[in-house]
Amino acid sequence: MWVAERALLHMVSQKLSEGRVIGIDISDSLLLEAMEKYKGCKNLSFEKQDLHSLPYESQFDIVTSARVLQWLDQPMNALEEIMKATKKNGMAVILDYNHEKINWDPEPPNSMLKFYTTFLKWREDAGMDNRIADHLYSMFEDLGFKDIEVSPQLEIAKRKDTNFVEKIDLWAKVAETRGIQMVGDGYISESDRVKAIIDYRNWIGKYAQAQTLYLTCVNGRK
């Protein structure tokens, strides 16, 4: 299981009082954060591991990854490792996005639309799959998983929600973080990056009504 879903790990650890849950990540800082937050969960531990080369073989009843494969240039390799770590008749559960199916109401400013289009191009050129949510089923099939199920898990934020600004501000934060890499890689100018952030946050404050992120969960049995 991956640190990206720390709340899920906590829930599972509470239910599996006689079992064990292992969270993995490649980031030392995220691992330290998780260890501190869940230090009271005796059957929950964390390890630094590379998803492309896991040391586990047929060890877990459930192996889950959330919003992780979208960032990999070899997601099939990672899914193979997930399958390897799963026991026979165990379950793999993967949650991820199709970034091309995002919906805003109304459309954000052109500066952010330009940034977002460039962001997808930057990802694609780096080998990341912008539509991986819609490719997971066939990936599961190709690896021989059984009883494959697909369920939509749309992330919908509406202005009436108490955490609306926090959720919809995601893309300003992406421009503040990944955007710096994009500038360094020559995909966008610094002035365009900054303009996208300013215009988008102004749009959030005055006009934004809703955002829908296309998220899908796929699970299959080994």
Asked whether residue 6 is domain-assigned, the answer is: no
The pLDDT value recorded for residue 116 is: 98
Q: Is residue 7 part of a domain?
A: no
Q: Is the pLDDT of residue 204 over 80?
A: yes
Q: Is 1 among the domain residues?
A: no
CATH code where residue 68 lies: 3.40.50.150
- pLDDT of 61 > 60? The answer is yes
Asked whether the predicted pLDDT for residue 8 surpasses 90, the reply is no
Q: Judge whether 18 lies within some domain.
A: no
Q: Give a yes or no: residue 174 inside a domain.
A: yes
Q: Which domain holds residue 108?
A: 50-221
Tell whether 157 is covered by a domain: yes
Instruction: Provide the domain count of the chain.
Output: 1
Round to whole Å and give the CA distance between 118 and 135.
22
The pLDDT assigned to 12 comes to 53
pLDDT band at 18 (very low <50, low <70, confident <90, very high): low
Asked whether residue 30 is domain-assigned, the answer is: no
With respect to residue 26, please indicate whether it lies within any of the assigned structural domains: no
In order, the DSSP letters of 169-207 are THHHHHHHHHHHHHHHTTSS-HHHHHHHHHHHHHHHHHT
pLDDT of 4 reads: 37
- pTM of the prediction? 0.86
